[in-house]
Every structure is written in structure tokens, then in C-alpha cells.
A = this chain, B = another copy of it.
Amino acid sequence: MKPLLLYVEDDVNLSFVTKDNLELAQFQVVHCTNGLDAWRCFERQPFDLCILDVMLPQSDGFTLARQIRQIDAEIPMLFLSARADKDDRLQGLRLGADDYMTKPFSIEELILKINVFLRRRKPPVSAGSCQTIGLYQFNFQNLTLEKDGQLQTLTHREAEVLHYLMKRPNTLIRRDEILKTIWGDDDYFMGRSLDVFISRLRKRLGHDPSIRIENLHGIGFRFLF
């Protein structure tokens, strides 16, 4: 799963290039141009790291940082600033920034520093990201499927198939496509195997009637929820 970054920067040209580069480096980036928007984003979803420009229209970077720190004492924050002076840097660090880069900065260095802090991030209590399907929580990394406290452990193949279906809900997924991807090939027996797994998954998800795995005769399946 790609790390999710919150990038706040009002310079349109710079932010365009930077975001592009970060995405190339396999990060997922949400970009905001001012502190207010950034704050709304931050409240809406959990990020892995923040990159904040110090000079921002409406609420400067420091204010935003303070707000964020109040909610999340752990999230790594990198500051960007055009001003290089010492007091600025010190204030940033005192506010709970983890590093302070001066513009113009090297994108490569930024990426390395991001990785420093992602590496140092304390492992979440129960690692791996969950996906929600109806009443269930599916954790692909941990092979778990949870419904109000009840934990099922899936087998490797079960998790693979479920994961594949979940990536494309409510659309037609061809049999041969699944087989090629997960089994690596497509023959009669693999097809039968797939059917067995579909059947097992239906049973595992059976307690939520809003979830269905529909068969389209001769073509494939549709995962509905």
C-alpha cells in the first residue's frame, strides 16, 4: 500500500512538479493550496506524513502544524520554507516538525527524508490496512475478515481471490482474467478451483445479505455490495 502524504503548498508551479515527482516515487499525494483546505483534508482521512509550506494564505504553516499536532502527536511533519534563517528553522522544530527544508530543495533529498520518517514511524498496533465491505473489515496483509468482533482467518488463496474481487466492485470480472492473474494460467481444473473458492467466500460473507458474488454465465463474476 502506498503511503499517503498531505502536501500543502500555494505555489502552483512548484507544487505541480513536486506532486508529480512524489507520485513517481510511489507515494499517494493529496495536495492543498491553503491551510484551511489542508485542515479539512486532515480531518477527513488519516495520513502517513505531512509536508507543509510555512508561508500559506489563511493560517500559516505553523498554525496548521499546531492544529495537527494537537490531534496527532505522532505524524511526521516536514516543513518547507523560502526563508533560510535560523530562527525560522528553530521555531519549526520546536513546534514538532521533524525536519525543515529550504527552498529550493532537491526533490531527491525530499524523498529520502520522507523515507527516513516513514521508516521510523512506530508500527501501528495492528498493522496492515483494512478495507470495509458492508459489515466486514477485510485485512489482506493479515488474512483476516472481521465482523463485529468475530474474526475469521482466511487462507492465502481465499484472501487473494477476495482481494481481486474487491478491487473492482460492481463491475464484470472475467473468469480468465482472475485465473491468469492469480493462478498464472487458465485451464479447466483451475477454473473448477476458482469456483470452489467463490463458493467458500460466499459462505464466509454469508452473514451480510447486502454482499453478493454474482455469476455471469460463461463469462465471470460480479462482486456487489
- A interface residues, Cβ below 8 angstroms from B: 76, 86, 89-90, 93-94, 98-99, 106, 108-109, 112-113, 116-117, 120-123, 125-128, 141-143, 153, 155-156, 167-168, 170-172, 214, 216-219, 222
- Shortest C-beta distance, A77 to chain B (Å), equals 10
Residues of B within 8 A of A112 (CB): 90, 93-94
Q: Which of B86, B125, B153 is within 8 Å of A109, CB to CB?
A: B86
The answer to whether A120 and B98 touch (CB under 8 A), given A93-B112, A127-B168, A153-B216, is yes
Q: Which residues of the partner chain B approach A89 to less than 8 Å between Cβ atoms?
A: 109
Contact B142 A116 (CB under 8 A): no
Given A94-B112, A112-B94, the answer on whether A170 and B216 have CB atoms closer than 8 Å is: no
Partner of A143, one of B106, B117, B216: B216
Known contacts: A143-B172, A167-B123. The answer to whether A86 contacts B106 by CB under 8 A is yes
- Bound CA span A167–B90, Å: 34
